[in-house]
Amino acid sequence: MKQIFNRPSKKMLHFLSTTIFQLKKQTAAVEMSLLPKVKALSIEEFEKFKWLLQFTYFRKSLPNISWSTLECTETAYQLVVLMEHKPQSLEVTEEVLMDMRI
């Protein structure tokens, strides 16, 4: 059987592992920054936050989290996990909290 792909070089493997490590580190930092802010919200504020989050992503023309997914999100941790991979999640969170006057 003919091999289609060559094995990645050591240099490429090192680059990929370094990139993955940096992404994991960045994701953890975003989570640590967002979680306390979202966790501090009351139940009513949490529901309002989800609605404003969706609206803010839309207004900024950023990829959003679907409303059906947001609607099923019941804890701050679940929401932060969804948000941490989105672009500008910290900035969007700050903007939403400012809109909520929190």
- What is the average pLDDT across 47-55? 93
CATH architecture of 10-99: Orthogonal Bundle (1.10)
Query: Which element (helix H / strand E) includes 88?
Result: none
Question: What distance lies between CA 80 and its chain's CA centroid?
Answer: 6
Quote the distance between the C-alpha of residue 90 and its chain's center. Answer: 9
Asked if pLDDT for residue 63 goes beyond 80, the answer is yes
The domain locations on the chain are 10-99
Half-sphere exposure at residue 89, Cβ-oriented, CA atoms within 13 angstroms: 23
- Specify the long-range contacts of residues 85-91, CB closer than 8 Å, at least 24 apart: 85/27, 86/57, 86/62, 87/62, 87/63, 88/60, 88/62, 89/30, 89/34, 90/30, 90/33, 90/34
pLDDT of the residue at 2: 65
pLDDT, residue 64, reads 85
pLDDT in tens, 67-90: 899 999 999 999 988 887 777 888
Query: Could you read off the pLDDT of 5-17 as tens digits, one per residue?
Result: 778 788 877 777 8
Average pLDDT score, the chain? 84
The CA distance from 97 to 102, in Å, is: 5
Higher local confidence (pLDDT), 43 or 21? 43
